[in-house]
Structure 1
Amino acid sequence: MSEEVQPVTQFLEDSFVYSCSFKDQRGYDQFVPHHVLAFQFSGETRVQYQNGKLVLRKNQLLLVQKNQLAKSLKFPAETEAYKSISVILSDDVLRQYAINNAIYESRPYTEEKIILLKPDALMKSYFQSLLSYIEESENISKKLAVIKTNEAIALLLHLSPSLKSFLFDFSEPHKIDLEKFMLQNYHYNVSIEEFAKLTGRSLASFKRDFSQVFKTSPRKWLQEKRLTQAYHLIQDKKQKPTEIYLELGFENLSHFYTSFKQKFGVTPATIQEFI
């Protein structure tokens, strides 16, 4: 590879995500619907999630629990591209694995939602084999994707048998305090449907409860909350609009400027000029 190579993110058979870049990149705000197993070949990934922050470095392994929110920043090393592969561990695949291997797990998982693991030689070899498939082929067949995903599950359980309750807990998110959750997580750019799921509610129940708590609709509240926080960060904290709009859940700078002017009658840049 050379520095002329453009950033690459490939999704293969809904089972693997391959990322490679020589440039710093901001990942998408994510609702994580499935467990994810990620290996860092080079560079580092800085992850912000609901309960904290962490850094995934070269040759480290990260296991992420389903049904949570996350933001990521990708940084190449000085002499190497950013390179990582993630394996998507969906409920369907895990249920079938449990059936095939007579695994019966009834305990709900209540511990850490994101776990840094030290990969053994077997796990490193596994990810190296995936890298070869992805970099030397344009595709991975569905049959091969199933085989390689099942291999990842087996290697995880070999590495840490206690992860059984993490992997095979198929319970749905329970109903939680909606007001507290939204005040902590309004800055994630995810859909109303995903916010509903994360609070343990159907979409209709979420909208009804939201109206009772905040006296307005979710979309209006999110817009108001994000814009009010943006005004505070620009005027009181002296931050630049370009530094904050993504962190507050706006899709792009243009949308942020338009929404800001509609609410406050001036652009973010105008406020910045008078600081």
Structure 2
Amino acid sequence: MNKSIIPVTRVLEDSFVYSCTFDQQRGNEQFVPHHVLSFQISGETRIQHQNGLLILKENQILLTRKNQLVKTLKIPAKDKEYKVISVIITTTALQQYAEDNSIHESKNYTGEKNLLLKPDTLLKSYFQSLLPYVEQSQKISKKLAGIKTNESIELLQRQNPSLSTFLFDFSEPYKIDIEKYMLQNYHYNAPIENFAKLTGRSLAAFKRDFVKSFKVPPAKWLKEKRLEEAHYLIHQKNKKPSNIYLDLGFENLSHFYTSFKKKYGVTPAESLIINQ
């Protein structure tokens, strides 16, 4: 493994993302606003999504649906670095493609949000064609970026015509049970605006419905819920504070320690010692 290469993450024209690293890294917790098509060149990506864990392995291709929350862990292979390249397929690009190709999809997509695709020759060759740009940080024009994005849509359609509903369903998330959703997803470090969108509400409606369900504002509830879960994991599961704070949605260890001590009177580390 050539460790002289500096780990990098490059984004070209907000359309293509390339990541290369030699050390295990957590990706940014994120709300996924657009469809993403990813090819795992080497190593693996562990993706914690709202319905479970998915592991993207070397030479696999993943199509991720928009409007979901994910956490990622980048893991290099034993003998080579971690490498992945992704194409961001925006709603605007899909709407233009649908208009240009007279595609009118009337059905709402209700299937899985993360699909492992067959890594056929055409798709693998497509990603190989992007490597000179992303690995060498070559400039790419908006026109060429648009052409390459359309090529990815064309190849997806060619490989599996049934993906039409996945790609061209432009409906917004519908209104769902806010209490059930938040209890399942409070550990994602996402802005309140994203939780509102994912439960099918405007920000004002989300805050109003949240208070009706939980009797406190969302920001306060999220903080308290995460601290209560941290206290449980430390006292009942003997978990180390440094191993749980990110999983619970805290931005950094310092913030976690300060919040925990303010609520419980001791730091998480002191709490762990007391428990032992």
Render the CA deviation track for 1:13-64: whole Å, top value 9, x for unaligned.
1111110001101111111111110000000001110111111011100001
Asked if the contact 1:34/1:88 (under 8 Å) is kept, the reply is: yes
Superposed, 1:1-275 pairs within 5 Å as 2-274=2-274, 275=276
**Within 1, Cα distance between the matches of 2:263 and 2:211?**
21
CA contact (8 A) 1:134 1:140 kept: no
Give % identity: 65
One-letter code of the match for 2:163? L
**In structure 1, distance between residues paired with 2:16 and 2:205:** 34
- Secondary structure of 2:251's match? coil
Check conservation: 2:24, 2:76, Cα contact below 8 A.
Answer: yes
1:37–1:86 Cα contact (<8 Å) kept: yes
CA distance in 1, matches of 2:4, 2:75: 16
| Alpha-carbon distance in structure 1 between the residues aligned to 2:268 and 2:241 | 6
Residue type of the alignment partner of 1:67:
N
After TM superposition, the score normalised by the length of structure 1 is 0.98
After superposition, the C-alpha distances for 1:203-247 in whole angstroms (9 at most, x for unaligned) are: 000000000000000000000000010011011100000000000
How far off its partner does 1:176 sit?
0.2
- Structure 2: segments with no counterpart, 5+ residues: none
**Conserved 8 A contact 2:10-2:137:** no
Report the alpha carbon displacement of residue 134 of structure 1 after superposing the two structures with TM.
Answer: 1.4
Cα pair 2:34 2:67 within 8 Å, conserved: yes
Q: Which amino acid aligns with 2:267?
A: T
Q: Separation in 2 of the partners of 1:271 and 1:119?
A: 49
**Structure 1: runs of 5+ lacking an equivalent:** none
Deviation at 1:148, TM superposition (A): 0.6
- With the length of structure 2 as denominator, give the TM-score of the two structures: 0.98
Q: How many residues align?
A: 275
Q: How far apart are the structure 1 equivalents of 2:225 and 2:112?
A: 29
> 1:257 is matched by which residue type in structure 2?
Y
Superposed CA deviations along residues 76-99 of structure 1, whole A, max 9, x for unmatched, are: 111111000111111100000001
Deviation of 1:136 after TM superposition, in Å, equals 2.8
Q: Distance in 2 between matches of 1:17 and 1:227?
A: 34
CA distance in 2, matches of 1:133, 1:159: 25
Per the alignment, in what secondary structure is the counterpart of residue 18 of structure 1?
strand
Local SS of the residue matching 1:246 = coil
Contact kept? 2:132, 2:138, Cα under 8 Å: no
Deviations 1:110-149 (A, max 9, x none): 1111101112101000000111221234322211111110
